[in-house]
Structure 1
């Protein structure tokens, strides 16, 4: 068996490299629109579809990894990310590119698998810090990978950026096969394929309605939204009655899990409202700053670094205050970043400051969630609880990605006015996040008997 240090390194790479590959669309969206001669809204689907695939893949891969099929689940996630990157790197057209971006989203499903392995194999004295680190890698790694991908895209084109990501995913797959512990010698839980279809279909319909609200006739938008909501409701109904649901929605409704899931969902919306807006204002040549993808990528570095700092700070604060207090604190910090952008967004340093504040809030919040879940659910339910919070986080990413461009271009207005309008929408989401996390955390601290 590998040493704990080497095992932890592999788990970090497992979540980091797939997050970098999956999030490549954010700084490259304007370039994708130019290279494929499509609208900004269409290009944004290269990010939205990846996050949606991650939301659906997470519980499926989590179920597959519950027993002897664990290594096959890892191969599925990393293999899908590798194949998807290859489709993006080859000149096969926009349809193949979107298919590749969807496949890259399978890699996001490996985060709960990595956390479950860490809980089993990492020594107890290092376990809490390892789990917290793995929880923030999906956000921190994206920020650190953005500038590298952006520089490559500016110098050699977006296909080279995706080609390098493909090579990294393939190398990580080899390392995982060599170092991860053997799969448990138990039967895994069967996958709820009907639940998968309902969840994927419902969320896709809602996202299309949200992303295309300014393009499609209002009747069609209403129909898509209705179908999506009905499918999601049917998924909840089905999940409460099937023997082995995709995720345990009953467990998700308990006080502490509910707090973490609501926070993950709403803060996820905020994260991918922020990223596309900053990238667009930096690169737009008419009303924005007119810089290239390299500058846009560099702007996301302070976000990634501050999220790591926030994660470490979260671990220190949890020794002095209740962990439930950190979620409203982190959400309020993230909201302040949007307020800063509304007030001042004309220079690069103003954007850098806002991104650093947002990263700090993100790290404070996301790092505290796994510990709360692990402490509040039985060991046998850890995988299901973590998988669900990752599902809602990725769904939040998807909604934020679709909402950002919709708010920016609504009514065909766009420009500076559209940018400010999108920021105000983001502020509204931030206020809702702070209010709900504060209320739910107070209810948790007041005792579960009050629910």
Structure 2
């Protein structure tokens, strides 16, 4: 094996700096997108007043983002593989900016729903960013770069709640969306300046029938999950929407299996490593929601209930902020485990850690600081799991399918989170206490939701155990191949 020349060493240093800049820009973009998901939470109780609408109608400001994000994520991933990941990344961030400006100018419900729907189109940015890393980052640095990118989700979510609460308290609520627009505009500029376009672009034909069929199926299923409790689980509306999903979904699958360039490659998704990784993603997404639901409620419920801590919304938001920092902080550790033991082990460690964290929360609910400590254990497990999932996906698909496969895994996590939300809502609606004429979640109800989180973590561990093992050093990224060709890195079999 030939030794690198001084020029080669200098070139590798330059490549390393470019990688650092790329990861930083993509992580910042991820933070900007994650902020949108928590941006609106502090003003939800006031939306009917702000938008001159009923509470049920105002809830569409949340539902529109969920539905558009679910449909757009896999579509943008597939288009990114075909026509350029950077190009679709720019489209997603641009939609975030446009949607934020529309929301900032809104005084009624209709434009707010339009703006929030456009913001939902940005949900595909995270898997696109991870896929760009595969194209541009050497395999040795890919696990830690991926972990940092996924950690940005936690940072954005953790900073979004307290930051939004403080802005909403001190300024007009429209400032929230102007802030989102400004962050999105900065992310857009940084992506244009520092993110290169992928060279792995096979092109092809857009599977419009597949996209439409998938969209109808997803929207109907998510409607049932998210609105079933409001409509009534046995109502004609709920059963009718569910029937549409159950009718369209098999026909969509039949069509996708027979089209030469499908929107979702179902045959590839049936590969054991990809299939069980997607199922683990559903379980992880399911488990994560328990923390986001229970922690704010325990912190804010009145002390007189005997289990609430009586904190303000701003304090509750600050108490959740360390979770995001922990997710980012464990990135190097999760990457080390992935490189030495493989992403399957990293995923299983994450599942065990999440389960232990929820058990700790169940016994440490009596003080704010103990609750924060236990929630950080959950966040550590989420950081491990979220870093492992895209690594498992990318090690199983060619570079030309990276964005589509990552986007589908992101969708699986979202489905898990949405399902968890519906099930937890049903539990808490039936396990309440009467507090001066107001129904509040009971302590047993909150513990039941935490138990769901433990069960979902156990399910993720069980599913992960079925993922076939592969060598941790087997992956070669497009960046490695290019470096080999130009002489920046000797070939693996050189002597």
User: What SS class does the counterpart of residue 68 from structure 2 fall into?
Assistant: helix
RMSD: 3.2
Aligned equivalent of 2:113: 98
1:154–1:293 CA contact under 8 A, matched in 2: no
Aligned equivalent of 1:167: 182
Displacement of 1:179: 2.2
1:211–1:403 CA contact under 8 A, matched in 2: no
Return the TM-score normalized by structure 2.
Answer: 0.79
Displacement of 1:26: 4.1
What are the Cα deviations for residues 119-144 of structure 1, in whole angstroms up to 9, with x where unaligned? 22234443332122223322332123
Work out the CA distance in 1 between the residues paired with 2:54 and 2:370.
28
> Which one of 286, 289, 309 corresponds to residue 329 of structure 2?
309
Work out the CA distance in 1 between the residues paired with 2:87 and 2:339.
38
User: What SS class does the counterpart of residue 376 from structure 1 fall into?
Assistant: coil
User: What SS class does the counterpart of residue 299 from structure 1 fall into?
Assistant: helix
Aligned length: 447
Aligned equivalent of 2:68: 53
2:94–2:188 CA contact under 8 A, matched in 1: yes
Displacement of 1:303: 1.2
Aligned equivalent of 2:295: 278
1:41–1:406 CA contact under 8 A, matched in 2: no
Larger Rg: 2
1:268-347 correspondence runs (5 A): 268-283=285-300, 289-347=309-367
What are the Cα deviations for residues 337-362 of structure 1, in whole angstroms up to 9, with x where unaligned? 33344444354224312321221110
Work out the CA distance in 2 between the residues paired with 1:389 and 1:143.
22
Unaligned runs of 5+ in 1: none
User: What SS class does the counterpart of residue 212 from structure 1 fall into?
Assistant: helix
1:306–1:356 CA contact under 8 A, matched in 2: yes
Unaligned runs of 5+ in 2: 1-14, 472-495
1:272–1:400 CA contact under 8 A, matched in 2: yes
1:64–1:189 CA contact under 8 A, matched in 2: no
Aligned equivalent of 1:196: 211
Aligned equivalent of 2:35: 20
Work out the CA distance in 1 between the residues paired with 2:267 and 2:140.
31
User: What SS class does the counterpart of residue 20 from structure 2 fall into?
Assistant: helix
1:265–1:392 CA contact under 8 A, matched in 2: yes
Return the TM-score normalized by structure 1.
Answer: 0.86
User: What SS class does the counterpart of residue 341 from structure 2 fall into?
Assistant: coil
Change in 2 beyond 3 A, CA 1:318/1:306? same
2:81–2:400 CA contact under 8 A, matched in 1: no
> Which one of 241, 251, 274 corresponds to residue 258 of structure 2?
241
Change in 2 beyond 3 A, CA 1:38/1:433? farther
Work out the CA distance in 1 between the residues paired with 2:110 and 2:76.
25
User: What SS class does the counterpart of residue 151 from structure 1 fall into?
Assistant: helix
Change in 2 beyond 3 A, CA 1:89/1:346? farther
Aligned equivalent of 2:408: 388
> Which one of 439, 463, 468 corresponds to residue 444 of structure 1?
468
Displacement of 1:174: 1.8
Aligned equivalent of 2:381: 361
User: What SS class does the counterpart of residue 150 from structure 1 fall into?
Assistant: helix
1:95-174 correspondence runs (5 A): 95-174=110-189
